[in-house]
Structure 1
Amino acid sequence: MTRRTTALSAAVALAAALALTGCSSSDSKPDLEVSGAFMPQPVMDMAGGFLTIKNDSGTADKLTSVTSPLSDDITMHETKNQKMQQVKSFDIPANGELSLTRGGSHIMFMELKKTPKQGEKVSIELHFEKSDPIKVDVPVEAPNHNPQQH
């Protein structure tokens, strides 16, 4: 009886170890890349931020917050039915992308500590549910800049 219990315990331990190893290799971190970032030159003490986050992995993630020396009050907003509302996070789908655009979802910088001018760059850090933070130097563009309009 003891020999059978020992063999069973060893088999269970081996199966658990294999299962854990399998989980960690298939549950890889998302592979995120930021592009197209810009901030229109603010005309008041607030500014919008826009960018695209591409996820080239099979693991979804979430953008959970944004930090910057420019403001201590940075929020994320989505626009639905022409109404802007604050959200706690944005989904970044597996093998997909999150697009923050004028007239759509975006980052809001409130109570700016200084007013950045066109041609300058604003340092931000994006924070995620699963991925490591990503630092981005965001170019400040003309107040009416909109790359989606041709």
Structure 2
Amino acid sequence: MSFTFRTLAATAAIAFALPAFAADIEIADPYARSASPTSKTGAAFMQILNHGEADRLVGVASPAADLVQLHTHIEGEGGVMKMVHVEDGFDLPAESALSLERGGKHVMFMGLTAPLAQGDTVPITLTFEKAGDMTVDVPVDLERQPGAEMDMDMDHDMDHDKAHEDDMGDSE
């Protein structure tokens, strides 16, 4: 067997082993945070852009916490919002975006293995039904203000020098 044939065979095997739809999923503006340096919980937020066919975000994992889940908020009795684990994940329609943001859908870290410190990164593996696994290094941004998520239709600067408000407990 020639070197060229082995090289081509190995390249083809690797290409076919990769998720077919991974190139169609793009992660934009990810960040993670916790309420304080001593918090045992935290969350990650991002925009998931689907440039291809419909898919579904079905799972999440990270070495940053003992338990990592997909969460959302629902209205409970008396209009009180409560956070719940979404076992079935989130739909990601074709040619659309899924916003993981404060007060809505997000990645929840429970039992942080280390404090989330400003400027650190947290590896998160997102699992899609069709696209498979995608690992993202998510920067920790403890200074991000609520509502400062990137507008995917507009190009603007983010003001990271604003005074930090600790709203983690109220907004997750």
TM-score for both structures, normalised by structure 2:
0.65
The yes-or-no answer on 1:34 pairing with 2:58 is no
The yes-or-no answer on 1:54 pairing with 2:49 is yes
Where 1:130 maps in the other structure, the secondary structure is coil
Q: 1:65 aligns with which of 59, 64, 70?
A: 59
Q: Which runs of 4+ in 1 moved over 4 A?
A: none
2:123 and 2:138 in contact (8 A); partners too: yes
Q: Name the residue aligned to 2:12.
A: none
What is the identity percentage for the equivalent residue pairs of Structure 1 and Structure 2? 36
Deviation of residue 74 (structure 1)? 0.6
Deviation track 1:31-79 (CA, whole Å, cap 9, x = no partner) reads 110011001244210101101110011x111111111111130111112
Partners of 2:105 and 2:117 lie apart in 1 by 23
Q: Name the residue aligned to 1:14.
A: none
Deviation of residue 144 (structure 1)? 5.3
Q: Name the residue aligned to 1:129.
A: 129
1:42 and 1:143 in contact (8 A); partners too: no
Gaps spanning 5+ residues in structure 1: where? Answer: 1-27
Larger radius of gyration: 1
Deviation of residue 83 (structure 1)? 3.0
Structure 2 residue identity aligned to 1:124? I
Q: How many residues align?
A: 122
Q: Name the residue aligned to 2:119.
A: 119
Partners of 1:116 and 1:148 lie apart in 2 by 19
RMSD of aligned residue pairs (Cα, Å): 2.0
Of residues 140-149 and 119-128 in structure 1, the stretch that sits farther from structure 2 once superposed is 140-149
2:61 and 2:69 in contact (8 A); partners too: no
Question: After superposition, where does 1:80-99 map in structure 2 within 5 Å?
Answer: 80-81=74-75, 82-88=81-87, 89-99=89-99
